[in-house]
Amino acid sequence: MYKINENYQKLPGSYLFSNIAKKVNAFSTANPDKKIIRLGIGDVTQPLAPAIIEAMHGAVDEMAHAESFRGYAPDLGYDFLRSAIAQNDYRARGCDIGEDEIFVSDGAKSDSGNIQEIFAQDNRIAVCDPVYPVYVDSNVMAGRTGTYDAAAGMWSDVIYMPCTMANHFVPEFPEETPDLIYLCLPNNPTGTTITRAQLQEWVDYANRVGAVIIYDAAYEAYISEEDVAHSVYECEGAKTCAIELRSFSKNAGFTGVRLGFTVVPKELKCGDVSLNAMWARRHGTKFNGAPYIVQRAGEAVYSEAGRAQLKEQVAYYMENARLIKEGLSGAGYTVFGGVNAPYIWLKTPEGMTSWDFFDYLLENANVVGTPGSGFGPSGEGYFRLTAFGSLENTKAAIERIKNL
Amino acid sequence: MYKINENYQKLPGSYLFSNIAKKVNAFSTANPDKKIIRLGIGDVTQPLAPAIIEAMHGAVDEMAHAESFRGYAPDLGYDFLRSAIAQNDYRARGCDIGEDEIFVSDGAKSDSGNIQEIFAQDNRIAVCDPVYPVYVDSNVMAGRTGTYDAAAGMWSDVIYMPCTMANHFVPEFPEETPDLIYLCLPNNPTGTTITRAQLQEWVDYANRVGAVIIYDAAYEAYISEEDVAHSVYECEGAKTCAIELRSFSKNAGFTGVRLGFTVVPKELKCGDVSLNAMWARRHGTKFNGAPYIVQRAGEAVYSEAGRAQLKEQVAYYMENARLIKEGLSGAGYTVFGGVNAPYIWLKTPEGMTSWDFFDYLLENANVVGTPGSGFGPSGEGYFRLTAFGSLENTKAAIERIKNL
C-alpha cells in the first residue's frame, strides 16, 4: 500500500492569501455595495510596457511560421536572455557573473520553493521573521523543520531571526549555526532592508561558518538608496557562499507572465561538488525551459526603450509608496519600508492583533491589506500594505484610512 | 557546514539528450558540409495553429491595457481553461472529471518530475522499461531508488517492467508489489500501447494492491485505434487509484510554449487524506500559475477552429510515422509503434548496440535518432525515430537509410 509524504500533514491551515481571499469574498457577498480596494497581495496592476508588448507580438508571429518556429527551449534559458541578464544585472554593477551561472525559470516562487532540493535533508535553515512564507513551507514539505508549535507559530528546527522595531528590522547572527540562510532583501513583507556593509557582514559570516545564503532579490528594482546592494554579489566573497533568486514580476510587471532566474556561481562548491552543476541537473530533469515568447519579453526588459518605460513604472509604484507612508504617518500610524521597496509595514494600533486590524480595515475602510502574522510570529502586531495598486485607488484607500 | 543532497551524486552521467547533442555537434563540426536530419529528440517542427496564434495576440493585447491586464493567475489554472479541459478531454469521452480535479501547469515534464513529492520516501516505484527517463531520475533525486548497478543500468530499488518484442511491449504485473506505477501510454519511446481492456487490468491491479498509477497520456492525441483508451479514467475504478499527466506539447505543438495539466481525482485518498488537496498545496506553495497568454493559447486548442487545425497537424505527423514505418520495413528493419504514437521503435541490426546504431546512422546517413538504451536497460538493441520532422526531411531521411 502506497504512503503519502506525511510532512504535508504538518502544514498548518492553508496559505495566507487563500485565507484573505475567503474573508474578502465573504465581506463582499454580505456587502455588495461596498467598493473594496485591494492593497493586500503583492500583485502589480499596471499594464506591460510597450517595448515588452511589441517583443511578445513579434515572438508570437515567429511561432506562426515553420522557418522561425521554436520548439523546446534550452533547459537553462536562451542565450539571448542569459547574456542580457549577465550584462545588465551583473557586469554593469561590477559583479563578475557569467551567462552559465544564470538559470532562467518560470518565476522566483518556483525557484524559492525548489532550491532546497539540492541540499541535504538534515540541513538547518534560518529565516528572517517575518518573511515570504514559501521558504519555510517548502522546507516543511521536505521534512526539514521538525514539529510545529501552533501557539507560538514556530517550527522546532527552524532558526528564526526576528526583524522588528526593536532591532530596526536588521537580522542578527543567530545563536545556533544555520546551514542555509534565507535573506529576502529588500524584505517582503517589511519593505525594509540593510546596507551593503551590513550585507557584507552576512557574507563573511556565511563563509566563516560554512553556510549558504539564499538571497532573494525580487525587489531590487525598488532600491533608491546608494548604500544598499542590488545583488549579493556586490559583496566580496559572495560567490563562494550565495545563491541569488531574481524575479521579473515586480520590476517589469510579470506576475502573470512568469519569468525569473537564479544565479548559482561556479565557485560555490561543497567539497568538490559544484552546486551550479547540481542546479543544472535539477533544471534539466524537472523543468523544460520558460516559454520562448516570455523569454523574448524578458529580453525586452533590458532594451533601451524597455528600461526607460520600466523606470517610469517603478517610479509610479514608488509614488504610491510615498503617499501611503506619508498618509499613514500623518494619520498617526508608525510606518516602515516604502523607501527601497514597494511595501509599507505598519504597527497595528495598541491592543490589536494583525488579524484584528485586517478585519477592522476591511469592515470600516473596505481596504484589504495583509496581516503581518501571516509572515511569521514576529510579524504579529504589524500589517502590510502594498504600493502596487493604481494611483487612484491608493489615494482613495489612504483617504479612507485617514478618516477612520 | 551545509551538506548537499547526496542522491544527486548517484545519477550516472548526464541526461540522454545532452549526450546526443554533444555527439551531433562534434560530427557537425568535423563535417560542416553534411546536412544532418534530426529525428531524435521528440520536438515538434510545425508552426502553431492559426487559432492559437490569434488567441495569443489577443491575450498579449489584453496585457497592454490596465483594464484588461492580468497579474497573478490562479495557482491551479484559470477557470476558462480548466472548464475547456474537463469538458473536451473528459466529459466528452464519458469520464466524470470535474474542473477542480484539474491542475494546470507549465508542462508535463515539471509534473512528471514533481508528482513523486507528495508520496512517502520509502514508496517503491515501478516503471516500464524502456520509458521516459524523468520518472526514474526524479525518484533518484528524492532518494527512492537505492543503488545503481552501472553494468546493468539498473537501480536496486526500482521495479522494472520490461516491454520488449518478447511480450509485445505489454508490461506485466511485477513479482514485487509496487506503491507507485508509472505508465506512459502510448509509450515513449516504443510508440506502442495497450488496449483499454489491458489498461482496465492495471487499474484493477492497482486498486487491489493499493498502488497509485501515474498515467502519462502525453501522446493520446495520436491514438488511432478504437480499443485504446485516451484517458485512464475510461477505466472503471481509476478515480480511486490513478493520477493522469497531460501535455499540450505534442497535440498542439506547445514544446516551446509550455503548458500541461495533471488530474488528481477527489476520490483518490490515502486513508482520509485527499491527494487532490495535497497536490493543490504543492501547486500553491511552489508554483505561481502558467502564464495568462499561454492559458489563452491552451483554451484555443479546444475551439472549433483550433480542433480542426490540430487534427490536420496530428495527421501530418502521423503521415510521417507511416512513411518511416513502411520505409524501414521495406528496407528490412523490424519496426514497432507509429500507429497510436508519433514514435517508431526499430530493432537494431544484429550485433549492434543502440549507441553503435546511433553512430552508424549519424555517420553514414547523417540522421539523428535516439538510442533505445537511453530509456532503460530493456531499450538496448532498439532505436527510436520520431515523426515530428518536416515531411520533406522525413522523406529524405528514409531514402538515406534505405540506401545504406
Q: Is B180 helix (H, G, I), strand (E, B) or coil?
A: strand
First-to-last C-alpha distance (Å) of chain A = 58
B2, A120: Cβ pair inside 8 Å? yes
* Sequential pLDDT tens for chain A (404 residues): 999 999 999 998 766 777 898 999 999 999 999 999 999 888 999 999 999 999 999 999 999 999 999 999 998 999 999 999 999 999 999 999 999 999 999 999 999 999 999 999 999 999 999 999 999 999 999 999 999 999 999 999 999 999 999 999 999 999 999 999 999 999 999 999 999 999 999 999 999 999 999 999 999 999 999 999 999 999 999 999 999 999 999 999 999 999 999 999 999 999 999 999 999 999 999 999 999 999 999 999 999 999 999 999 999 999 999 999 999 999 999 999 999 999 999 999 998 999 999 999 999 999 999 999 999 999 999 999 999 999 999 999 999 999 99
- pLDDT score at A14: 64
| CA atoms of A309 and A49, how far apart (whole Å) | 6
pLDDT tens for the 404 residues of chain B, in order: 999 999 999 998 766 777 898 999 999 999 999 999 999 888 999 999 999 999 999 999 999 999 999 999 998 999 999 999 999 999 999 999 999 999 999 999 999 999 999 999 999 999 999 999 999 999 999 999 999 999 999 999 999 999 999 999 999 999 999 999 999 999 999 999 999 999 999 999 999 999 999 999 999 999 999 999 999 999 999 999 999 999 999 999 999 999 999 999 999 999 999 999 999 999 999 999 999 999 999 999 999 999 999 999 999 999 999 999 999 999 999 999 999 999 999 999 998 999 999 999 999 999 999 999 999 999 999 999 999 999 999 999 999 999 99
> Chain B within 8 Å of A105 (Cβ-Cβ)?
no
B181-207 exposure pattern, b = at least 16 Cβ within 10 A, e = fewer: bbbbbbbbbbbbbbebebbbebbebbb
Q: What are phi and psi of A158, to 5 degrees?
A: -105, 135
Considering only alpha carbons, which residue of chain B is nearest residue A41?
B72
Q: Does A45 touch chain B (CB under 8 A)?
A: yes
Q: How far from each other are the two terminal CA atoms of chain B, in whole angstroms?
A: 58
Residue in chain A closest to B13 (alpha carbons) equals A281
Beta bridge partners of A161: A128
Considering the entire predicted model, what is its pTM?
0.97
Classified as helix, coil or strand, B252 is coil
* B71 close contact with A: CB closer than 8 A: yes
Query: B334: closest CA among B376, B371, B383?
Result: B383
Would you call A113 and B11 a contact, using CB atoms and an 8 Å cutoff? Answer: no
Torsion sign over Cα B322, B328, B332, B334: negative
- Rounded (5°) CA angle A376-A13-A186: 30
Using an 8 Å CB-CB cutoff, list chain B residues near A1: 179, 209-211
Instruction: From residue A26, give the alpha-carbon distance in Å to each of A21, A22, A30, A74, B45.
Output: 9, 6, 6, 45, 49
A150-170 pLDDT tens trace: 999 999 999 999 999 999 999
Question: What's the pLDDT score for residue A160?
Answer: 98
Give me the domains of chain B, ranges plus CATH numbers: 7-46+305-402 (3.90.1150.10), 53-303 (3.40.640.10)
Q: In angstroms, what separates the C-alpha of B354 from chain A's closest C-alpha?
A: 22
Please give the Cα distance from B284 to A141 (Å, whole number). Answer: 12
> Would an 8 Å CB–CB cutoff place B241 in contact with chain A?
no
CA–CA dist B361, B355 (Å, integer): 10
Q: Which residues of B touch A2 (CB under 8 A)?
A: 119-120, 123, 179-180, 210-212, 270
Task: Tell me which chain A residues have a C-beta less than 8 angstroms from the C-beta of B181.
Answer: none
Counting Cβ atoms within 10 Å, is residue A150 exposed (0-12), middle (13-18) or buried (19+)? exposed
Residues of chain B with C-beta less than 8 angstroms from the C-beta of A43: 71-72
CB contact under 8 A, B258 and A5: no
**Chain B stretch 296-335, residues whose beta carbon is closer than 8 A to a beta carbon of chain A:** none
Which of A285, A390, A391 to substitute to test the interface with B, most B CBs within 10 Å?
A285
- The residue behind cell 556586490 is A234
Give the start-end residues of each E strand in A13-172.
37-38, 102-105, 125-129, 148-149, 154-155, 158-162
Count Cα neighbours of B400 within 13 Å in the Cβ-side half-sphere: 21
ipTM of the complex: 0.97
Q: Which amino acid is at A98?
A: G
Cα separation, A54 vs A68, in Å, equals 17
CA distance B310 to A277: 39
CB contact (8 A) between residue B3 and residue A122 = yes
Q: How are beta strands B269-270 and B273-274 bridged, if at all?
A: antiparallel
**Are B53 and A61 in contact (CB < 8 Å)?**
yes
The helix or strand, by DSSP H or E, that contains position B61, with its residue range, turns out to be: helix B50-62
What is the pLDDT, as a whole number, of residue A15?
Answer: 67
Query: What was the pLDDT predicted at B14?
Result: 64
Closest CA to B160 of B176, B137, B141, B142: B176
Which of B120, B137, B210 lies at the smallest CB-CB distance from A4?
B120
Tell the residue number behind the cell numbers 520532422, with chain if given: B389
Dihedrals φ, ψ of B235, to 5°?
-95, 140
Cβ(A124)–Cβ(A212) under 8 Å?
Answer: no
Query: In the prediction, which pLDDT does B295 show?
Result: 98
Cell of A389: 495598486
Q: Are strands B37-38 and B367-368 parallel, antiparallel or unpaired?
A: parallel
A 10 A CB-CB count for B15 gives 18
Q: Is A286 on the interface with B (CB under 8 A)?
A: yes
DSSP state of A179: S
Whether B176 has its CB under 8 Å from any CB of chain A: the answer is no
Q: Does A25 touch chain B (CB under 8 A)?
A: no
